[in-house]
C-alpha cells in the first residue's frame, strides 16, 4: 500500500438508510460520552491507608498494568509506608516516581518494595511510572 | 530500598543500591532479549502476511506466482494471530489492566487500533457475503494490524535500548567503587569485600589502587586522581591528615588511611543519591506536559470514534470509516510527550555529575539556565578563604633583628583568636630559625585594634596603623607602605616594641587561580556579576578589579547577605543565583533563585544549595549554567516536536486533508510514525551526552 492511498474505485460511497446513519451517530456519541466518563471521571474516593501501632499509616499497592488502588487517602501529619507489590513484567512499571518527594523507587518483579515518607502537609501528590504513563495519586487530608 | 533514617542497616546503602541496580539491570536485559525475540518472530510472520496480501494490494492480476491457498484470508488469519496475541501480548494485557484501573495509555491505543483491524478482518473472513451484498470488496486488513504491531514493537525495542543509555551516568558512578579493600587486621593486610569495611579500619593503598571508602591519611603520601568525582582534571597531592574519598584513584605513592565513612555515608553514595533525587523531580514545564498526558489518550479515543462516525455519515462506507479510526488511534503518541522532559533531565543530571556539578532537582536545572544576575561571595568563593602573609618589611628605625621580630610576633599572635593571627603565626614560624618561643605575660586583645603583652620585659604590640595613631605615635613614615599594601587589598599589621615601629605585615586572602577566568566566562554568558563582601569598600573593590567584576556590594555582614539577594530580586534583576561556601551563606543561598554551594571535595550534602560544585572550583559555575541552558533547549525541542507531531499527525490521520487532496494516511504509516516519535525524542535527549563544559584557560604563573 502506498504512503497515501489515492481514493480509488474501491472506496466507493454507499447510500445508507437514514435510520442506520442516525443509529451510528447516536451510538458513537454515547460511546464517546461513556469512554470519557470511564477514563476521566472520578470513580469513588481514595482508598484509605490503615493505621499501624507505631503511628505509621500503611498501605499495599499492587502494580499490575496500573496501581491498585491508584487513589490513596492518608492523614496529614503522620508518617506513611507505601508497599508496592509488582506482578506486571512490563519494564514500564519497573520504577515508581514521587516527584514531590524527590524519590524514585525501583520495583523488582514479583516482590514487595516499601517506600517510607515522612509526615506530610495536606495536599495532592501524584506519582507515576518511569514513563509517566501509569499514574496514581496520594491525597493527604487533614 | 526504603528511605529510612540513618540506622545500622543503612550503612550498606551504597552497596545495596548497587546490588539493586544490578538486579534491575539484569531484568532490563532479560526484557530486551525477549523483546528482540518477539520483534524477530513478528517481522518474519508480518513479512509473510504482507507477501500474502500483495495481490490484493496491487489490485489483483499479479497473483499468478503465488498459490491461491497462500493468498487466502485464512492463511493471513493464521499468520497474523500469533503476531498480535503472542508478540503483542503485553499491549493487550496492559490495556486490559489499565482499563480496569480507569486509565488509558499507549497500550490502550495500540491494542484498540490493531484489535479493531483484526476483528473487522475476522468478520470479513467469516462472512464475506455481508460486504459483497453491500457492494464492497471483501478485503481483509490483517497486514495492517501485523505491520502496526511489529513497528510499534520495534520502536519499543529501540526506545528500551536508548533509555538504558540515559541512566548510564549513575551506573558508571556505582561501578567506580572497587569491590575489595586491603585492610590491616591484627597488623596483617587482608583483602576483604568493601561491604565489610567499618569506620576506624586502617586501609592500605598501593600505587594504581582505587581508594575503596572515605577516610583520612595517617601515613605516607601520594597524588590522587579525583576527576571522576569532582571533575577536577589535575591530580591532588595527599599527605598525612588529608581527606581521601572513595572511588578516586591513587597514582604512584603508597599510603594508609583511617576509614571515617562507609556505605551510604560516603561521598560517592551521597552523589549517587543526589543525582537519583534530581532525576526523580520534575520541572515546571513537565507539570504542564503531565496534565496534557493525563487527558491525552481518552481525548484521542473520542476523536477516533468521531472520525469513524463522520466518515460513516459522509460515505456510508463502514470499512473506510474503520481505517480512519485505526489511523487516529495509532498515530497519537502520548509517549513522546511523557518522555520529552524526563529523558533530558536524566542525561543532563548524569552529565553534571560526571563534571562534578550536582543538581538537587530538575527545577534547579531549569532555573539555572534563566539566571540573569549572579552574586559571588568574596571570601571562600573568589578567594581561598585562608588569609596569608604576602608582605613582611622591617621598618627604618627598628632595632631588632628579623628573626627576633618574627619570634615575638609568633609568640604574641599565637594567643590571639583573630582570623588574621593564624596567618601571622604560620608565616613567622616558617620564616624563623627553630627554637622555643618566648613566654608572654599580661596578654590582652584590644577589639578592632590589635593585641599587646610583655615578652622578656619588652612591651610588644601588634595591630592596625590606626591604633598606633590613636596611641599618639608618629606613624607618618608608615604612610606610603600602608597605602601600597591597601591598594593590593592587604590588611596591614604593624609590630611595635617598646614604642618603636619595628615591622609591618601585609595579609591578604589570595584569589583562587581560576577566579578571573570564571568571572570572564560568566560575563561571556551574558550574566551580570556582582561581588558580595564583608570587607571595607576599598579592599573589596581592589579584589573585584583583579577578577574583573565591576559591581561590588561591600561591608555586608554575614546575616545581611540574604537581604542583599532579596533586594536584587525585588529590583527586577532576577532570577538571581548566589554562589557561596554553603555554611555561613546558607540563608543567602536559600533566598536566591538558585543557590550554588562550593563543596570542599569531601562534603557533598550541603543542605541549602540547589547546585553543589564538588571540586570547589569556580569554573563549575559557568559550566552548570551552560549545561542548564543546553538541557532546557533540549527539553524545548523535545516538547515542540512531541506536540507538533501529535497536532499535525492526528488531523492527517482523521482524514481532514482527504476532501482537499484525496489523501489518506495508511494506518501502517501511522503505526510507523508513532513508533519512531518516541525514539526520536529519546535520541535527541541523548545528544546531551556530548555536552562538554568549556575549559577555562589557567592563569600563567
CA distances from B619 to B279, B351, B578, B624, B696 (A): 24, 16, 15, 9, 7
Given a contact cutoff of 8 angstroms between Cβ atoms, the answer to whether B404 and B460 are in contact is: no
- Tell whether the model's pLDDT for residue B17 goes beyond 50: no
**pLDDT confidence band for B358 (50 / 70 / 90):** confident
- Tell whether the model's pLDDT for residue A22 goes beyond 90: yes
Lowest mean pLDDT among B264-278, B537-551, B592-606, B635-649: B592-606
A97 interfaces chain B, CB cutoff of 8 Å: yes
CA distance B360 to chain A (A): 9
What nine digits make up the cell of B288?
504542564
A83 interfaces chain B, CB cutoff of 8 Å: no
Q: What is the pLDDT of residue B602?
A: 53
Given a contact cutoff of 8 angstroms between Cβ atoms, the answer to whether B216 and B258 are in contact is: yes
A135 interfaces chain B, CB cutoff of 8 Å: yes
Higher-pLDDT residue of B359, B17: B359
What nine digits make up the cell of B578?
548566589
B65-84 mean pLDDT = 89
Given a contact cutoff of 8 angstroms between Cβ atoms, the answer to whether B261 and B64 are in contact is: no
B31 interfaces chain A, CB cutoff of 8 Å: yes
Q: What is the pLDDT of residue B9?
A: 35
* Cα gap A79→A53, rounded to integer Å: 12
Contacts of residue A10 in chain B, CB cutoff 8 Å? 136-137, 139
CA distance B317 to chain A (A): 6
Q: Would the CB atoms of B277 and A6 count as touching at under 8 Å?
A: no
**pLDDT confidence band for B218 (50 / 70 / 90):** very high
Contacts of residue B142 in chain A, CB cutoff 8 Å? none
- Tell whether the model's pLDDT for residue B356 goes beyond 50: yes
CA distance A77 to chain B (A): 17
CA distances from A23 to A26, A28, A30, B136 (A): 5, 8, 11, 21
Contacts of residue B272 in chain A, CB cutoff 8 Å? none
CA distance B569 to chain A (A): 26
- Tell whether the model's pLDDT for residue B1 goes beyond 50: no
B20 interfaces chain A, CB cutoff of 8 Å: yes
* Cα gap B76→B47, rounded to integer Å: 11
B257-263 mean pLDDT = 90
Residue of A nearest to B102 (CA): A39
pLDDT digits (tens, 9 = 90+) for B301-351: 999 999 999 989 988 888 888 888 988 888 887 777 777 787 888 888 888
Residue B94: count of CB within 10 angstroms of its CB = 25
- Tell whether the model's pLDDT for residue B22 goes beyond 80: no
**pLDDT confidence band for B4 (50 / 70 / 90):** very low
Best of B9, B102, B635 to substitute, by most chain A Cβ atoms within 10 angstroms, is B102
Q: Which of A29, A66, A104 sits opposite B276 (nearest CB)?
A: A104
Lowest mean pLDDT among A8-22, B133-147, B162-176, B433-447: B162-176
B 160-199 residues with CB below 8 A of A? 160
**pLDDT confidence band for B215 (50 / 70 / 90):** very high
* Cα gap B348→B468, rounded to integer Å: 58
- Tell whether the model's pLDDT for residue B77 goes beyond 90: yes
- Tell whether the model's pLDDT for residue A74 goes beyond 60: yes
B671-689 mean pLDDT = 82
- Angle subtended at Cα A129 by Cα A123 and Cα A135, rounded to the nearest 5 degrees: 50
- What stretches of B559-646 adopt beta strand conformation (E)? 576-580, 594-598, 611-613
B158 interfaces chain A, CB cutoff of 8 Å: no
* Cα gap B634→B642, rounded to integer Å: 12
Q: What is the pLDDT of residue B57?
A: 66
B244-266 mean pLDDT = 87
A116 interfaces chain B, CB cutoff of 8 Å: yes
CA distances from B134 to B57, B406, B505, B663 (A): 21, 112, 106, 24
- Tell whether the model's pLDDT for residue B43 goes beyond 90: yes
Determine the angle formed by the axes of helices B13-57 and B73-82, rounding to 10 degrees.
170
Q: What is the pLDDT of residue B10?
A: 35
In total, the C-beta contacts within 8 angstroms joining chain A to chain B are 171
pLDDT digits (tens, 9 = 90+) for B415-428: 877 778 888 888 88
Residue of B nearest to A1 (CA): B57
Q: What is the pLDDT of residue A49?
A: 83
- Tell whether the model's pLDDT for residue B101 goes beyond 80: no
B16 interfaces chain A, CB cutoff of 8 Å: no
- Tell whether the model's pLDDT for residue B607 goes beyond 60: no
B 664-693 residues with CB below 8 A of A? 664-666, 668-669
CA–centroid distance for B309 within its chain: 49
A112 interfaces chain B, CB cutoff of 8 Å: no
Given a contact cutoff of 8 angstroms between Cβ atoms, the answer to whether B31 and B114 are in contact is: no
Q: Would the CB atoms of A65 and B101 count as touching at under 8 Å?
A: yes
- Tell whether the model's pLDDT for residue B604 goes beyond 90: no
Higher-pLDDT residue of B467, A10: B467
Nearest alpha carbon to residue B343 among B507, B160, B474: B160
B389-409 mean pLDDT = 83
CA distances from B529 to A63, B372, B494 (A): 50, 9, 35
Given a contact cutoff of 8 angstroms between Cβ atoms, the answer to whether B472 and B455 are in contact is: no
Q: Would the CB atoms of B97 and A64 count as touching at under 8 Å?
A: yes
What nine digits make up the cell of B497?
616594641
pLDDT digits (tens, 9 = 90+) for B529-583: 999 887 778 888 888 898 899 899 988 877 788 889 999 999 888 799 999 876 6
- Angle subtended at Cα A107 by Cα A102 and Cα A113, rounded to the nearest 5 degrees: 85
Could you tell me whether strands A50-51 and A57-64 are parallel, antiparallel, or unpaired per DSSP bridges?
Answer: antiparallel
**pLDDT confidence band for B8 (50 / 70 / 90):** very low
Q: What is the pLDDT of residue B296?
A: 86
Contacts of residue A13 in chain B, CB cutoff 8 Å? 314-317
B 319-358 residues with CB below 8 A of A? 320, 334-335, 338-339, 342
B193-202 mean pLDDT = 90
A109 interfaces chain B, CB cutoff of 8 Å: yes
Nearest alpha carbon to residue B81 among B40, B32, B130, B114: B114
Burial B144-159 (b: 16+ CB within 10 A, else e): bbbbbbbbbbbbbbbb
Q: Would the CB atoms of A113 and B104 count as touching at under 8 Å?
A: no
- Angle subtended at Cα B553 by Cα B548 and Cα B558, rounded to the nearest 5 degrees: 120
Is residue B377 part of the annotated active site? The answer reads yes
State the catalytic residue, choosing from B377, B509, B535, B593.
Answer: B377
Contacts of residue B3 in chain A, CB cutoff 8 Å? 103, 115-117
Q: Would the CB atoms of A38 and B20 count as touching at under 8 Å?
A: no
A23 interfaces chain B, CB cutoff of 8 Å: no
Burial classification of residue B436, based on how many CB atoms lie within 10 Å of its CB (0-12 exposed, 13-18 middle, 19 or more buried): exposed
* Cα gap B284→B522, rounded to integer Å: 25
CA distances from B590 to B27, B99, B300, B363, B562 (A): 41, 44, 43, 14, 8
Best of A6, A23, A36, A39 to substitute, by most chain B Cβ atoms within 10 angstroms, is A39
Given a contact cutoff of 8 angstroms between Cβ atoms, the answer to whether B246 and B268 are in contact is: yes
CA distance B604 to chain A (A): 17
CA distance A142 to chain B (A): 24
B261-285 mean pLDDT = 79
Q: Which of A38, A104, A108 sits opposite B280 (nearest CB)?
A: A104
Higher-pLDDT residue of B139, A23: A23
- Tell whether the model's pLDDT for residue B3 goes beyond 50: no
Q: Would the CB atoms of A14 and B282 count as touching at under 8 Å?
A: no
CA distance A58 to chain B (A): 14
For chain B, give the percent of residues with pLDDT over 90.
Answer: 17
**pLDDT confidence band for B5 (50 / 70 / 90):** very low
Given a contact cutoff of 8 angstroms between Cβ atoms, the answer to whether B625 and B526 are in contact is: no
* Cα gap B447→B445, rounded to integer Å: 6
What nine digits make up the cell of B539?
579592599
Determine the angle formed by the axes of helices B334-354 and B142-166, rounding to 10 degrees.
20
Beta bridge partners of A123: A140
Q: Say what the pTM is.
A: 0.73
* Cα gap B389→B505, rounded to integer Å: 7
**DSSP letter for each residue of B368-389:** HTT--EEEEEIIIIIB-SS-EE
Determine the angle formed by the axes of helices B168-175 and B267-280, rounding to 10 degrees.
170
CA distances from B220 to B206, B207, B253, B640 (A): 11, 12, 8, 57
B428-447 mean pLDDT = 80
B280 interfaces chain A, CB cutoff of 8 Å: yes
Cis bond before residue A69 (omega within 30° of 0): yes
**pLDDT confidence band for B62 (50 / 70 / 90):** low
A42 interfaces chain B, CB cutoff of 8 Å: no
A65 interfaces chain B, CB cutoff of 8 Å: yes
Instruction: Give me the sign of the Cα torsion angle B512, B513, B514, B517.
Output: positive
Mean of the per-residue pLDDT values of chain B? 82
pLDDT digits (tens, 9 = 90+) for B625-656: 999 999 999 988 988 888 888 888 888 888 88
Best of A27, A65, A95, A117 to substitute, by most chain B Cβ atoms within 10 angstroms, is A65
- Tell whether the model's pLDDT for residue A63 goes beyond 70: yes
Under 8 Å CB-to-CB from B368, ≥6 apart: which residues? B359, B577, B594, B610, B611, B624, B625, B628
Q: What is the pLDDT of residue B16?
A: 43
Burial B244-263 (b: 16+ CB within 10 A, else e): bbbbbbbeebebbbebbbbb
Amino acid at each position: 500500500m502506498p504512503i497515501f492511498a489515492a481514493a480509488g474505485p474501491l472506496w466507493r460511497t454507499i447510500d445508507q438508510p437514514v435510520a442506520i446513519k442516525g443509529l451510528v451517530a447516536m451510538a458513537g456519541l454515547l460511546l464517546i460520552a461513556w469512554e470519557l466518563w470511564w477514563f476521566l471521571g472520578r470513580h469513588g474516593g481514595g482508598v484509605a491507608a490503615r493505621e499501624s501501632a507505631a503511628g505509621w499509616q500503611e498501605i499495599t499497592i499492587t502494580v499490575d498494568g496500573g496501581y491498585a488502588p491508584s487513589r490513596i487517602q492518608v492523614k496529614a501529619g503522620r508518617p506513611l509506608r507505601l508497599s508496592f507489590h509488582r506482578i506486571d513484567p512490563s519494564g514500564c512499571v519497573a520504577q515508581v516516581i514521587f516527584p514531590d518527594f524527590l524519590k524514585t523507587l525501583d520495583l523488582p518483579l514479583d516482590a514487595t518494595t516499601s517506600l517510607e515518607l515522612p509526615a506530610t502537609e495536606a495536599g495532592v501528590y501524584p506519582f507515576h511510572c518511569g514513563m509517566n504513563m501509569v499514574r496514581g495519586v496520594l491525597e493527604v487530608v487533614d | 530500598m526504603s528511605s529510612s533514617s540513618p540506622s545500622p542497616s543503612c550503612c550498606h546503602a551504597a552497596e545495596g543500591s548497587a546490588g539493586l541496580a544490578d538486579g534491575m539491570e539484569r531484568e532490563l536485559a532479560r526484557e530486551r532479549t525477549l523483546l528482540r525475540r518477539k520483534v524477530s518472530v513478528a517481522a518474519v510472520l508480518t513479512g509473510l502476511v504482507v507477501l500474502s496480501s500483495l495481490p490484493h494490494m496491487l489490485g489483483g492480476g499479479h497473483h499468478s506466482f503465488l498459490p491461491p491457498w497462500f493468498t487466502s484470508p485464512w492463511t493471513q488469519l493464521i499468520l497474523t494471530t500469533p503476531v498480535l496475541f503472542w508478540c503483542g501480548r503485553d499491549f493487550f494485557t496492559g490495556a486490559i489492566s489499565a482499563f480496569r484501573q480507569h486509565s488509558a495509555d499507549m497500550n490502550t491505543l495500540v491494542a484498540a487500533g490493531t484489535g479493531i483491524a483484526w476483528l473487522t478482518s475476522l468478520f470479513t473472513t467469516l462472512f464475506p457475503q455481508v460486504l459483497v451484498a453491500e457492494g464492497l470488496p471483501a478485503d481483509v486488513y490483517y497486514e495492517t494490524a501485523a505491520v502496526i504491531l511489529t513497528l510499534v514493537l520495534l520502536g519499543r525495542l529501540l526506545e528500551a535500548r536508548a533509555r538504558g543509555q540515559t541512566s548510564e551516568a549513575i551506573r558508571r558512578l556505582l561501578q567506580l567503587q572497587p569491590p575489595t579493600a586491603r585492610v590491616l587486621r591484627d597488623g596483617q593486610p587482608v583483602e576483604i569485600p568493601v561491604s565489610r569495611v567499618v569506620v576506624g579500619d586502617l586501609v592500605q593503598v598501593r600505587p594504581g589502587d582505587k581508594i575503596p571508602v572515605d577516610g583520612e591519611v595517617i601515613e605516607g603520601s601520594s597524588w590522587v586522581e579525583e576527576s571522576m568525582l569532582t571533575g577536577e582534571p589535575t591530580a591532588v597531592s595527599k599527605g598525612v591528615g588529608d581527606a581521601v574519598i572513595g572511588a578516586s584513584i591513587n597514582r604512584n605513592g603508597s599510603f594508609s588511611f583511617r576509614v571515617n565513612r562507609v556505605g551510604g555515608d560516603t561521598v560517592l553514595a551521597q552523589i549517587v543519591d543526589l543525582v537519583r533525587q534530581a532525576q526523580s523531580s520534575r520541572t515546571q514545564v513537565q507539570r504542564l506536559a503531565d496534565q496534557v498526558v493525563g487527558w491525552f489518550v481518552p481525548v484521542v479515543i473520542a476523536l477516533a470514534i468521531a472520525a469513524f462516525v463522520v466518515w460513516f455519515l459522509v460515505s456510508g462506507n463502514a470499512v473506510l470509516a474503520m481505517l480512519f479510526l485505526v489511523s487516529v488511534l495509532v498515530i497519537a503518541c502520548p509517549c513522546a510527550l511523557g518522555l520529552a522532559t524526563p529523558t533530558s533531565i536524566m542525561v543532563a543530571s548524569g552529565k553534571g555529575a560526571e563534571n562534578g556539578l550536582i543538581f538537587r532537582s530538575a527545577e534547579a536545572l531549569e532555573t539555572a539556565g534563566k539566571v540573569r544576575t549572579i552574586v559571588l561571595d568574596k571570601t571562600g568563593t573568589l578567594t581561598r578563604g585562608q588569609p596569608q602573609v604576602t608582605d613582611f618589611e622591617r621598618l627604618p628605625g627598628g632595632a631588632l633583628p628579623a628573626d627576633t621580630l618574627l619570634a615575638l610576633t609568633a609568640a604574641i599572635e599565637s594567643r590571639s583568636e583573630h582570623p588574621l593571627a593564624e596567618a601571622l603565626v604560620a608565616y613567622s614560624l616558617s620564616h624563623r630559625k627553630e627554637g622555643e618561643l618566648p613566654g608572654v605575660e599580661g596578654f590582652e586583645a584590644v577589639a578592632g585594634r590589635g593585641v599587646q603583652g610583655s615578652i622578656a620585659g619588652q612591651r610588644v604590640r601588634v595591630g592596625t596603623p590606626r591604633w598606633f595613631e590613636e596611641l599618639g605615635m608618629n606613624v607618618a613614615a608608615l604612610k606610603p607602605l600602608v597605602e601600597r599594601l591597601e591598594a593590593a587589598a592587604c590588611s596591614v599589621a604593624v609590630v611595635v616594641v617598646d614604642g618603636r615601629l619595628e615591622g609591618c605585615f601585609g595579609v591578604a586572602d589570595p584569589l583562587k587561580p581560576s577566579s578571573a577566568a570564571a568571572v570572564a566566562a560568566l560575563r561571556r554568558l551574558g550574566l551580570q556579576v556582582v561581588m558580595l563582601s564583608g570587607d571595607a569598600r576599598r579592599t573589596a573593590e581592589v579584589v573585584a578589579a583583579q577578577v574583573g567584576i565591576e559591581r561590588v556590594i561591600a561591608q555586608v555582614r554575614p546575616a545581611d547577605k540574604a537581604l542583599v539577594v532579596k533586594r536584587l530580586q525585588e529590583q527586577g534583576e532576577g532570577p538571581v543565583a548566589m554562589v557561596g561556601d554553603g555554611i555561613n551563606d546558607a540563608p543567602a543561598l536559600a533566598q536566591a533563585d538558585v543557590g550554588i554551594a562550593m563543596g570542599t571535595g569531601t562534603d557533598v550534602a550541603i543542605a541549602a544549595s540547589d547546585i553543589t560544585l564538588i571540586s570547589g572550583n569556580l569554573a563549575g559555575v559557568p559550566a552548570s549554567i551552560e549545561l542548564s541552558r543546553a538541557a532546557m533547549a533540549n527539553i524545548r525541542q523535545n516538547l515542540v516536536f512531541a506536540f507538533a507531531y501529535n497536532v499535525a499527525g492526528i488531523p492527517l490521520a482523521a482524514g481532514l486533508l482527504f476532501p482537499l487532496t484525496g489523501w489518506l494516511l495508511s494506518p501502517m504509516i501511522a503505526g510507523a510514525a508513532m513508533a519512531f516519535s518516541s525514539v526520536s525524542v529519546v535520541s535527541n535527549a541523548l545528544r546531551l551526552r556530548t555536552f562538554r563544559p568549556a575549559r577555562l584557560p589557567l592563569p600563567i604563573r
